[in-house]
Structure 1
Amino acid sequence: MQNRSIYNPLIIDVSHHQGEIDWERVARAGVQGAYIKLTEGKTFTDPRVYENYVEAKRVGLLVGFYHYAHCTNDPKQEVAFFLQQLQSMKFDFPPCLDLEVNKGKNAEFVSRFGRTWLEEMEKNTGVQPLLYSGYHFAKTYFTKELSYYPLWIARYSSSNRTEGFDCPGNLFTWSEWTMFQFTDQGKVDGISTYVDLNEMNAAFFQYVKESKPSLLSTVKTSFQQMKSQFVKSSNPSLPKGMLKKGARGEEVFVLQKALASVYFYPNKFAPNHGIDGIYGANTANAVARFQKVYLPKEVDGIYGPNVRLKLEEVMKGKEAGT
């Protein structure tokens, strides 16, 4: 496979393990895109996915989402869970399958799982997904039936862990990589922990940028149709509709962040104060507490027009120092 190149853009991949990220500093450090962990298996959603998505988009980075697979599950169920959690978030880079653990299964089983997952994702999104794995795992467990899909390969140098190899080596299944994760001990301004660093093939990166909106897709909704004001502004507009228990996605995330800005945290003691894009009991309770103070005749835990107007008023007062 090919060597790294000074023309390839730097891409990071992140999850809740990186904690709170200062995305403005990340962008200034020269990072051009990010893959964000969305899901794992059939039940786990990364608790920082919405925050990372919103902030990365706000500072102008291209983003994609990856799914950490459990290959003993039904691959179609894992795809369905990923798409369910994706909601109205928009990806620039194609979805990615992270397949790096065999769970005691052989190469044929692992590759069949991977092929089914990738085909199901492509069928549902209209976009050819990426396949991620470590070099030695791919060499052992990936058969040629996976070679149709672009490869994101990881391999680290034991003698120079930070700078990494110039080339990951050769695999009979692929002649080139689309992304190369050359270290898991990268340091980027704005991130307090180690972070994975990747080079993306420059031609692929340019293809993604020039393919808007045909490549950039969400489930059943185009990028242009779903453009949201909150990713274009550091002060996003509050949702205009009604939100209540069971809702999830961008609008809930914006509401939660607004409530937290005036000290009505969904969960003060949880990671990120419970700001997770899910309108559950904690968010309903935060809305009810806000109503009890500012709208005492309307304490039902449901976000509607009156809550929106009052919350905007309170936020403006806080900014003005009143």
Structure 2
Amino acid sequence: MTASQSPTRFPRDAPRRLAPALLAGLALALAGCSASDSLSGLEPVRTTTSTKVIGTARFGDAKPMDFGANHPGRYPVHGIDVSKYQGEIDWEKVRANGIAFAFMKATEGGDRSDARFGQYWRQAGQAGIVHAPYHFYYFCTPAAQQAAWYIANVPRASVKMPPVIDMEWNPQSPSCKLRPDPETVRSEMQIWLNAVERHYGKKPIIYTTVDFHRENLNGHFRGYQFWLRSVAAHPEKIYPNHHWTFWQYTGTGVVPGIEGDADINVFGGSQKAWRDWLKKHAG
């Protein structure tokens, strides 16, 4: 994910150029369930054909990576993350094509909100897609102010899955080039996390990127669930021995119902683990 930017479009013939192996893997995974219900990707999903599918797997990647044996198609539960730059979304079509959850941008810093957040969370809910609002962190505004802004703009009714904080460097920012030291990053993060958890009664999820995690978060926040970006390899190679609940594996996804490139993610467990996770965290 990134801060405010121009939308990226993909060529009209992109769906015809999708990797057949990826599409086949996604279809197989969504048709089955795991022999293991563990999270974190340490025991990848092994599919069978005995479980009802969440939807029909008809999404793919315009620029697929070769993940080898640990490709994301081994996981049966896939989702998207979106902001206003996706424009109008046909959430019913998104759901019908195998997408089970959505992270959606709600706020940024201490004074910006996403223009489509309210529309997205209502429409996603109507389509039966569970969702979580995320906050894009801004390093030039105190964490307490950012938490207050998130709380002021994100109704409790919109928080189905736990709230999310998006922690990454943003070198393209026209107004904030600040890179605090790791101790400051972590202490400010904790202020935001604590305030948001108190308000919504749910422990937030931490989204992060490879470089930001390496420089600031590695070995910390062990009591939190992580959503990790890793578009070149499985997270176990990029974040060794690090627990994860969600994996963002591409920013060039092709999802019917969304015009242009889409970020696609997987949940790190079986369909049964997903149902159990929802009962625990999305009530």
Q: TM-score per shorter chain, which class?
A: 0.5 to 0.7
Any conservation in 2 of the 1:115–1:145 contact (CA below 8 Å)?
Answer: no
Q: Does 1:195 find its partner at 2:265?
A: no
Give 2:274's aligned residue.
205
Give 1:37's aligned residue.
105
Task: Say what the alpha-carbon RMSD is for the aligned residues.
Answer: 2.1
Q: Does 1:2 find its partner at 2:41?
A: yes
Any conservation in 2 of the 1:107–1:143 contact (CA below 8 Å)?
Answer: no
**For structure 2, which runs of at least 5 residues remain unmatched after alignment?**
1-39, 46-73, 171-177
Give 2:121's aligned residue.
53
Which among 132, 137, 140 is matched to residue 69 of structure 1?
137
Amino acid at match of 1:135: V
Amino acid at match of 1:56: A
Q: Which has the higher mean CA deviation after the structures are superposed, 145-154 or 102-111?
A: 102-111
Normalising by structure 1, what TM-score? 0.59
Q: Structure 1 76/205 Cα, relative in aligned 2: closer, same or farther at 3 Å?
A: farther
Equivalent-residue separation in structure 2 for 1:175 and 1:79 (angstroms) = 26
Amino acid at match of 1:43: D
Q: Does 1:138 find its partner at 2:213?
A: yes
Give 1:184's aligned residue.
251
Q: What is the CA-CA distance between 1:143 and the residue it aligns to?
A: 4.8
Q: Does 1:22 find its partner at 2:97?
A: no
Equivalent-residue separation in structure 1 for 2:180 and 2:164 (angstroms) = 21
C-alpha distance after superposition, 1:57-100 (max 9, x if no partner): 11111111100001332112111111111135332210000010
Equivalent-residue separation in structure 1 for 2:184 and 2:150 (angstroms) = 21
Equivalent-residue separation in structure 2 for 1:97 and 1:205 (angstroms) = 21
Secondary structure of 1:89's aligned partner? helix
Give 1:148's aligned residue.
223
Q: What is the CA-CA distance between 1:31 and the residue it aligns to?
A: 0.2
Equivalent residue pairs, number: 206
Which among 242, 256, 261 is matched to residue 175 of structure 1?
242
Q: Structure 1 75/125 Cα, relative in aligned 2: closer, same or farther at 3 Å?
A: same
C-alpha distance after superposition, 1:228-252 (max 9, x if no partner): xxxxxxxxxxxxxxxxxxxxxxxxx
Point out which structure has higher relative CO (alpha carbons under 8 A, 6+ apart): 2
Equivalent-residue separation in structure 2 for 1:136 and 1:58 (angstroms) = 37
**For structure 1, which runs of at least 5 residues remain unmatched after alignment?**
158-164, 218-322
Any conservation in 2 of the 1:111–1:143 contact (CA below 8 Å)?
Answer: no
Secondary structure of 2:237's aligned partner? coil
Normalising by structure 2, what TM-score? 0.67
Give 1:128's aligned residue.
203
Any conservation in 1 of the 2:83–2:114 contact (CA below 8 Å)?
Answer: yes
Q: Name the larger-Rg structure.
A: 1
Any conservation in 2 of the 1:185–1:196 contact (CA below 8 Å)?
Answer: yes
Which among 150, 153, 166 is matched to residue 234 of structure 2?
166
The within-5 A match list for 1:167-316 is 167-171=235-239, 175-202=242-269, 205-211=274-280, 215-216=281-282
